[in-house]
Amino acid sequence: MTQILTIALKISVVIFMAGNLLELGLRLKLGAALRGLRNVRFVTLSVLWAFVLCPALAYGLTRVIPLTPPYAMGLILLGMAPCAPLLPMMSDKAKGDLNYTATFMLLASAGTVVYMPIAVPLMVEGLTVSAWAIARPMLVLVVLPLVIGVVIQVRSASTASSLQPFVKKVTGVDTVLMLILIVVVYGKGFIGAIGTYAIGTQVVFFSVITAASYALGFGLPRSQKSVLSLGICTRNCGAAMAPLFVAPDVDQGAIVMVTLGIPMMVGFALIAARVFARDAGP
């Protein structure tokens, strides 16, 4: 029974990743997202935080906090995967610039596909998986659905508008199912994490990346800083889990650590969005 539920969870994660990226592509205003790429300061800070500072912080925490190897593995993978699909909703709550939200999601999606296959074999000890084994699901689950959505949007905005609510609804139902399956399959693992350093380490990690990315958004307008901070605070847990699903004999503790990041990032993102919205004024 557990094996069947685990397979069902993997399928739901695939639908979650592909569905969210397809839905993003269907509503992505490519012109606005590409215009944001001309902002050198925003792009530089986004790439620096997403693919240098966050992974470095996660890796550093595993060296100073006595996490068990599976928890350390999960934290490093979380550190490598920026930007959850819920970023637009959080940016809207924070009164952030939605055009730059699209820019950040485009950067994060493309960067994750290139970065993780290179970085995971180098930084994650105990994960015996090749770069291509990591790149393959990234290409299928991140690049392909995003490209399909963007092509439909560019060719026929009306078709994209009619498809987007359906894709969003299906993905929403799948998200609820995925969360239920996570609790059923890894519930004992969550309970086992209580009393370890896993939860406390994640609190430190999310606190630092949320506050520091906003405070150190040098020269950016508030509306862009909030997008940067929320994009860094939210983690693409599906992308972080992908290497664990293709590697052999992975300790469940690593998957538990990644899935713990889901409620953690939602909580921090909601708090941050509320603070940013208050700073923005009426």
The whole model's pTM is what?
Answer: 0.88
For residue 34, give the 3-state DSSP assignment: helix
Banded model confidence at residue 109, pLDDT cuts 50, 70, 90: confident
Interval 123-136 mean pLDDT? 81
Condensed to tens digits (0 to 9), the pLDDT of residues 203-252 reads 999 999 999 999 998 889 999 999 999 999 999 888 898 888 887 888 88
pLDDT bucket at 276, cuts 50 / 70 / 90: very high
- Kind and range of the H or E run holding 231: helix 222-233
Measured in whole angstroms, how far is the alpha carbon of residue 235 from the centre of its chain?
Answer: 3
Cα 206 versus chain centre, distance? 13
pLDDT at 76: 95
pLDDT tens column, 158-175: 999 999 999 989 988 988
Residue 110 scores a pLDDT above 70: yes
How is 125-171 classified by DSSP, letter by letter?
A: TT----HHHHHHHHIIIIIHHHHHHHHHHHH-HHHHHHHHHHHHHHH
CA-wise closest residue to 16 among 177, 257, 235: 177
Domains of the chain as residue ranges with CATH: 2-280 (1.20.1530.20)
Q: Whole-angstrom Cα distance, residue 42 to residue 38?
A: 9
Burial zone of 215 (CB within 10 Å; 0-12 exposed, 13-18 middle, 19+ buried): exposed
Max Cα-Cα span within the chain = 54
pLDDT at 281: 64
Angle, helix 40-48 to helix 98-123, in steps of 10 degrees: 40
**Treating both helix axes as pointing N-terminal to C-terminal, what angle do 69-80 and 198-215 enclose, rounded to 10 degrees?**
20
Percentage with pLDDT > 90 across the chain: 46
Question: Higher-confidence residue: 41 or 29?
Answer: 41
Mean pLDDT, the chain, rounded, equals 89
Which residues have C-beta within 8 Å of that of residue 259, sequence separation ≥ 6?
182, 186, 190, 237, 241
